Amino acid sequence: QVQLVESGGGLVQPGGSLRLSCASSGFTLDYYDIGWFRQAPGKEREGISCINSNDPRSDGSTHYADSVKGRFTISRDITKNIVFLQMNGLKPEDTAVYYCAPTCILPYDYWGQGTQVTVSS
């Protein structure tokens, strides 16, 4: 099972930015679709962004939920084997625990610890 580790969360003021990282040891992330998901208190986990794999059957395209489109950017650093989620224009409603997974769709059963993002003044 592919194991991923999220990092980069923190406390930021509204309008601020954070860059989340999704890393793996032992698995080449370029071969997988990688999704970012988040779960706010009292709410279900939701998918917010995905980047398709770069294998010959796929095209590495990116996808965003309407709630983050235009503010968040997902990307890969192939040399470092990391998938980033650049988050700009953060809003209080973006407060959640953020997770990455080797899939673009739910359900998924092997979540990591996630990284907390808190947007507050």
pLDDT digits (tens, 9 = 90+) for 13-67: 999 999 999 999 888 898 899 999 999 999 999 999 999 987 777 778 999 999 9
Nearest to 106 by CA among 54, 57, 39, 53: 39
pLDDT surpassing 90 at residue 1: no
Mean pLDDT of the chain: 94
pLDDT at 56: 74
Please tell me the distance from the alpha carbon of residue 21 to that of residue 107, in angstroms, as a whole number: 21
Cβ proximity of 22 and 5 under 8 Å:
yes
pLDDT at 58: 72
pLDDT at 2: 79
* Buried-exposed string 38-71: b where 16+ CB fall within 10 A, e elsewhere: beeeeeebebbbbbbbbeeeeeeeeebeeebeee
Q: In what order do the strands lie in the sheet with 46-51?
A: 10-12, 115-119, 96-101, 34-39, 46-51, 62-64
Name the band, by pLDDT with cuts 50, 70 and 90, for residue 115: very high
Stated as kind and residue range, the H or E segment containing 101 is strand 96-101
Under DSSP, the state recorded for 70 is T
Name the band, by pLDDT with cuts 50, 70 and 90, for residue 3: confident
Span 82-102, average pLDDT: 97
